[in-house]
Amino acid sequence: ALYRLFEAGMLALAVFNPLAGWRLDAQTPLLGQGLAVIYLILAIVLLMHARRTKRIVAHTLVGVGVDIAVATIASTLLPEVAPGIALMLLFNIGAAALLLPLRLGLGVAVAASLSLTGSYFWSLFAEGVSPRPLAELMMFAVSFMAIAALSYPLRQRVDITQALADRRGAEATRLAEIN
């Protein structure tokens, strides 16, 4: 949730920067600025909600859904930084896959891949020109799937370690009661 806030801040900095040389010119500046403000607000709300929630799976799915939607719109509006946006989304997918069951983690990766593919073809047909190489899009799709698949064994290891810690804690409590 904190990384999402960082991403929202970076997007806001990119579209609201007072230095003309550092500002990214969106194809539709008002839409880009509105997206940055909405993402910043959603990132703050999700950060506050993450501190109070016990429903991690639902919160993770909502958060990564917001991230995918914003990344798709932002990569369409700011095609010159689309690879950077996709790289930041890669981290979000990995973190989500770490918190979700394997099927949901892979589903998130597929959704992100399809979303960026849709954005690519939207730009291709709307403008008649390819915003970036198709090979780049395919590499990101494979990377999304790979990070989701590789995060799952790490999640299993964390679950095993947590179960062992719980068992050791229960044993320590029983030993303390005996003494």
In the structure, what pLDDT confidence band is assigned to residue 26 with cuts at 50, 70 and 90? low
Question: Within a 13 Å sphere around the CA of 102, how many CA atoms are in the beta-carbon half?
Answer: 7
pLDDT of residue 40: 94
Q: What is the pLDDT averaged over residues 34-53? A: 91
Question: Residue 32 corresponds to which tokens in the numbers above?
Answer: 């880009």
Q: What is the pLDDT averaged over residues 109-134? A: 88
Q: What is the pLDDT averaged over residues 50-64? A: 90
Long-range contacts of 49-56 (CB under 8 A, 24+ apart): 50/1, 56/99
Secondary structure (DSSP) of 8-62? HHHHHHHHH-SSTTTS---SSHHHHHHHHHHHHHHHHHHHHHHHH-S-HHHHHHH
Q: What is the pLDDT averaged over residues 10-30? A: 73
- The single residue listed with the structure tokens 């979700």 is 100
Give yes or no for a contact between 140 and 108, defined as CB atoms under 8 angstroms apart. Answer: no
Burial of 177 (0-12, 13-18, 19+ CB in 10 A): exposed
pLDDT of residue 122: 85
Q: What is the pLDDT averaged over residues 147-165? A: 92
In the structure, what pLDDT confidence band is assigned to residue 66 with cuts at 50, 70 and 90? very high
Burial of 4 (0-12, 13-18, 19+ CB in 10 A): buried
Describe the chain by its helix, strand, coil percentages, rounded to 5. 85, 0, 15
Q: What is the pLDDT averaged over residues 55-81? A: 91
Q: Which residue has the higher pLDDT, 103 or 32?
A: 103
Residue 97, pLDDT > 70, answer yes
Give yes or no for a contact between 100 and 61, defined as CB atoms under 8 angstroms apart. Answer: yes
pLDDT of residue 63: 94
Poorest-confidence range of 16-20, 51-55, 84-88, 98-102?
16-20
For the chain, percent of residues with pLDDT exceeding 90:
53
Q: Which residue has the higher pLDDT, 164 or 132?
A: 164
Query: Helix, strand, or coil here: 55?
Result: coil
Residue 20, pLDDT > 80, answer no
| φ/ψ bin of 128: left (φ > 0), alpha (ψ from -120 to 50), beta (otherwise) | left
Query: Measured between alpha carbons, how far is 125 from 132 in angstroms, rounded to an integer?
Result: 13
pLDDT of residue 70: 95
Residue 43, pLDDT > 90, answer yes
